[in-house]
Amino acid sequence: MVARGFEGIGAWIMGRNMFGPVRGPWRDDAWKGWWGDNPPFHTPVFVLTHYAREPIVMQGGTTFHFVTDGIAAARERAFAAANGADVRLGGGVSTVQQYLRAGLVDEMHLVLSPALIGSGERLFEGLDLPTLGYELAGYTPSAAATHVAIRKRNGPA
């Protein structure tokens, strides 16, 4: 089931916090992400950061590229690398919010599962999705989770 979620993905974009817990300038090149030597992405991954770093080539076809010139540049590089396949926006919350505000998310699939995990970050805090041009495309409830699809409208609000 999880493998199906990776089908058709040609590149990923994620924020620095999603890549790892290191804040500020890179102290060294030791941290290579949460995932071990063979991350699950198996495609190029573009990490938004304020601090430059050389790409990290990992097993399985994953290469982490560090983008310091903003979300539009990361998107452009990811689409070029994906070569016609989909680009997945992996998170975290700040990264997803930036792309939604800029109207750069075509579709979003959310999986909501009943669990108490603390306050966390609020994905839609400060966002008015209808005004930004997004609509509910559908939802599928089950006992374990509800799948919600949101998409960018084609025409005006």
* In a shared domain, residues 99 and 134: no
Strand order in the sheet with 134-141: 107-112, 146-152, 134-141
How many Å separate Cα 3 from the centre of its chain? 17
* In a shared domain, residues 97 and 116: no
- Give the chain's domain count: 2
Q: Is 100:55 a contact under the CB 8 Å cutoff?
A: no
| One-character DSSP codes across 52-84 | ----EE-GGG-EEEEE-S-HHHHHHHHHHHHTT
User: Which range marks the domain in which residue 152 is found?
Assistant: 106-157
* In a shared domain, residues 72 and 128: no
Give the CATH number of the domain where residue 96 resides: 3.40.430.10
pLDDT digits (tens, 9 = 90+) for 101-115: 999 999 999 988 887
* Per-residue pLDDT at 1: 46
- Interatomic CA distance for residues 68 and 53, integer angstroms: 9
- Tokens standing for 154? 């084609």
pLDDT digits (tens, 9 = 90+) for 94-153: 999 999 999 999 999 998 888 777 777 888 999 999 999 999 999 999 988 999 999 999
Strand ranges for the chain from DSSP E: 9-15, 44-48, 56-57, 63-67, 86-91, 107-112, 134-141, 146-152
- Interatomic CA distance for residues 19 and 118, integer angstroms: 21
pTM of the predicted model, to two decimals? Answer: 0.89
* In a shared domain, residues 112 and 152: yes
* Per-residue pLDDT at 115: 78
Whether the per-residue pLDDT at 4 is higher than 80: the answer is no
* In a shared domain, residues 129 and 153: yes
User: CB-based contacts of 135: which residues, under 8 Å, 6+ apart?
Assistant: 129, 150, 151, 153
